[in-house]
Amino acid sequence: MGHITGENRYQSKIMCLDDYVDPESMVRIIDRFVNGVDLEEYGFKRAIPNERGRNSYDPAHLSKLIVYGYGNTARSSRKLEALTYVNVEVMWLMDELKPDFKTIADFRKDNIAPLSKLLSEFNSYAEYCGMFGKNLVAIDGTKIKASNNKKNNYSKKKLKRNKEYNERRAREYLKLLAESDDMDEACGIIEKLGDCEQRVELAGERLAKLEKSGEGEISTVDPDARLMGNNRSGVDMAYNVQAAVDSKTHLVATFDITQNPTDHGQLSNMARKTQEVFRKKAIMVLADKGYYGGDDIEETENLGVTSVVARQLKPGEKEGKRFSLDKFVYDKDKDEYTCPMGKPLHAHSKKATKDRKFFNKAACRDCPAKEECLAKKDDDCPDKEKYRFIIRKPQNDALDRADKRYTEHQETYKLRQMIVEHPFGTVKRTMDGGYFLLRTKEKVRVEVALLFLGYNIKRTKNYLGFEKTMALLEEWQAFLRQNTLSFLLIILKIRFARNVLNISMTLA
- Nearest CA-CA partner of 140 in 291, 301, 297: 291
Q: Check pLDDT > 70 for residue 493.
A: no
Secondary structure string (H, E, C) spanning 306-322: EEEECCCCCCCCCCCCC
Among 44-53, 210-219, 453-462, the range of highest mean pLDDT: 453-462
Dump pLDDT digits (tens) for 282-295.
999 999 999 998 89
CA triple 272-409-318, angle to 5 deg: 100
The pLDDT score that the predictor gives to residue 138 is 96
Measured CA to CA, the distance from residue 219 to residue 227 in angstroms comes to 9
Between 135-139, 215-219, 491-495, the lowest mean confidence (pLDDT) is in 491-495
Find the range with the poorest average confidence among 141-150, 254-263, 470-479, 494-503. Answer: 494-503
pLDDT of 363 > 80? The answer is yes
Residue range 298-352, pLDDT digits in tens = 999 999 999 999 987 665 455 557 787 778 888 888 888 999 888 888 888 887 7
d(CA 118, CA 60): 12
128 vs 481, which has greater pLDDT?
A: 128
Question: 61-75, 341-355, 383-397, 417-431 — which is least confidently predicted?
Answer: 383-397
Give the whole-angstrom CA distance, residue 279 versus residue 215.
Answer: 36
Nearest to 252 by CA among 83, 425, 86, 88: 425
Domain edges within the chain: 17-130+457-486, 150-219, 325-395
Q: What is the pLDDT of residue 371?
A: 80
pLDDT (mean) for 128-137: 94
CB atoms within 10 A of CB 215: 15
Summarize pLDDT for 240-251 with one digit per residue, the tens: 999 999 999 999
- Closest of 188, 145, 178 to residue 436, by C-alpha: 145
| Distance, C-alpha 106 to centroid of its chain | 24
Tell me which range, 33-47, 135-149, 353-367, is most confidently predicted by mean pLDDT.
Answer: 135-149
DSSP 8-state assignment for residue 428: I
pLDDT tens-digit readout, 64-113: 999 999 999 999 999 999 999 999 999 999 999 999 999 999 999 999 99
Query: What DSSP element (H or E) covers 362?
Result: helix 361-365
Residue 33 predicted with pLDDT over 90: yes
Q: What is the mean pLDDT of residues 193-218?
A: 87
Residue type, 480: L
Q: Cβ of 398: how many Cβ atoms within 10 Å?
A: 20
User: Whole-angstrom Cα distance, residue 286 to residue 270?
Assistant: 11
pLDDT at 147: 93
pLDDT tens digit string along 158-198? 998 998 998 888 888 888 877 776 777 778 878 888 888 88
